[in-house]
Amino acid sequence: MNLEHLNSLIHIIEYQSFSKAAEKLYITQPTISNHINKLEEELDTVILIRNKKEVKLTKQGEIIYNYALDALQMEKNIKNEINLFNQDISGKLEISSSTIPERYFLLNILSEFHSEFPDVRFSLKKHDSFEIIDLLLKSKIDFGIVGTKVFHSNLIYHSLFEDEIVLIGSKNFFVDNQEISLEETFKHSFISREIGSGTRNAISKYYEKNKLNYNHLDIIFEIEDNECILDLLDQGEYLAFLSKEVLKKTSDDYVIIDYGKTINRSFYFAYNKKRIMSPLSEKFKNYILNENDAY
C-alpha cells in the first residue's frame, strides 16, 4: 500500500476538498483523485462519498483513514529514530499556542532558539486551549502552549508562567469609578473574548464560584484579538476582562477596575508522551523549559 496515497486521503479529509488537499501537497487535482481511485481499486471498496457540499468517509473509509493516520505517524517515527541516531538538530517544529503566550512569551523564545539553531523552521498556529489539546492527542503538532489543563494519560504539562486577569475600561468613561462589585458588572456593557478562550474560561469559572453566570452579562462584542478589544474600549462605555500582559505594551488610556479579587491562571507547555521526539523536538523541549526556569 502506497503511503503517498494514504497521505492524500488524510489531507482530503482534513481540508474537506480535493483541490485544497492537492494544493497543500503540491500536486494536481487529477493526481490526488488518482491516488484515491488506486486505493479504492486496491482495497476493492468505496472510501469516500463525494458531493458538492462535503467529502465524507464511508464506514470502510473510516477504518482505512484511522490506519492511514497510524501508518503516516509510523513513517515519521522511523525518520525521527534515524535522526535521533544521527543527532540532527534541523527540520520543522509544529507548535500551537493560545493568544497570550504566543504574543508575550513564545515569539521571543522561537527567535532565540532559531539564532542558536539556524537550520530549524517553525510552523506556529493560534488555537484555543481545547483545540490545541485535541491536536496533541491526534499527534498533529509537536508542542502546545495552553491556559487550561485537560487531563489525559498521554499528555504531559509543564507550568510556564502565571497570568493575572484584570477588568479594564477606558479612562474617558471610568476614571472616577475604579471599584465595582461583581453583581454590578451586569449593569454594564462588555467586550468579551470568544468562547473557548482561556481568559473567558477563567472568568466564567470565577463567576460560577460566586453563583453568577458570566454569559448573562450584556456582551456586545465577542472578539478573538486583544488589540481590537482595546480599540473598541475607546469607542464607548464598555468593560472587558483581559490579561494584564496585554496592557504592558499599551498607553495609559485604560483604567484597571477593582472587582473584588485577583484572578490568576497558569499557562502550560504541553506535549504527547506517546509521540516519539526527534532530536530537534527533544532539544526544543529542554530549551524552553530551561529558559522558563531563568525567568
Residue 1 has pLDDT above 50, yes or no: yes
Distance CA 67, CA 73 (A): 10
| Res 292 pLDDT > 70 | no
Residue 295 pLDDT grade (very low, low, confident, very high; cuts 50, 70, 90): very low
Which is higher by pLDDT, 103 or 68?
Answer: 68
What CATH number does domain 89-161+267-294 carry, 3.30.420.60, 3.30.43.10, 3.40.190.10, 3.30.390.50? 3.40.190.10
pLDDT for position 107 = 87
pLDDT at 284: 93
Q: What is residue 294's predicted lDDT score, i.e. its pLDDT?
A: 42
* 8 Å CB contact between 214 and 259: no
Q: What is the dihedral of CA 8, 14, 19, 21, to 10 degrees?
A: -40
Q: Average pLDDT in the 213-228 region?
A: 91
Q: Which one is predicted more confidently, 232 or 84?
A: 232
Q: Has residue 190 got a pLDDT over 50? A: yes
Return the domain boundaries, the chain.
3-85, 89-161+267-294, 163-264
pTM above 0.75, yes or no: no
- Lowest model confidence (mean pLDDT) among 71-75, 86-90, 266-270, 280-284: 86-90
Q: Thinking of the domain 3-85, which architecture would CATH place it in?
A: Orthogonal Bundle (1.10)
pLDDT tens per residue, range 161-176: 888 999 998 887 776 6
Residue 204 has pLDDT above 80, yes or no: yes
**Averaged pLDDT score across all residues of the chain:** 86
Q: What is the pLDDT of residues 84-126, one digit of tens each?
A: 655 667 788 999 998 888 887 888 889 999 998 888 999 998 8
89-161+267-294 with 163-264: one CATH topology? Answer: yes
pLDDT the model gives residue 275: 86
Cβ-based neighbour number of residue 4 at 10 Å: 12
Return the CATH architecture of domain 163-264: 3-Layer(aba) Sandwich (3.40)
Mean pLDDT over 74-78 rounds to 82
Pick the range with the lowest mean pLDDT from 12-16, 84-88, 184-188: 84-88
Q: What percent of the chain has pLDDT over 90?
A: 33
Task: Flag the least confident range among 33-37, 104-108, 172-176, 243-247.
Answer: 172-176
Report the half-sphere exposure of 166 (CA within 13 A, side-chain side).
19
Q: What integer pLDDT is reported at residue 216 of this predicted model?
A: 94
C-alpha to C-alpha distance for 277 and 273, rounded to whole angstroms:
9
Residue pair 88/120 in contact by the 8 Å Cβ criterion: no
Instruction: Print the SS3 string covering the chain.
Output: CCHHHHHHHHHHHHHCCHHHHHHHHCCCHHHHHHHHHHHHHHHCCCCEEECCCCEEECHHHHHHHHHHHHHHHHHHHHHHHHHHHHCCCCEEEEEEECHHHHHHHHHHHHHHHHHHCCCEEEEEEECCHHHHHHHHHCCCCCEEEECCCCCCCCEEEEEEEEEEEEEEEEHHHHCCCCECCCHHHHHCEEEEECCCCHHHHHHHHHHHHCCCCHHHCEEEEEECCHHHHHHHHCCCCEEEEEEHHHHCCCCCCEEEEECCCCEEEEEEEEEECCCCCCHHHHHHHHHHHHHHHHC
C-beta of residue 161 within 8 angstroms of C-beta of residue 105 = yes
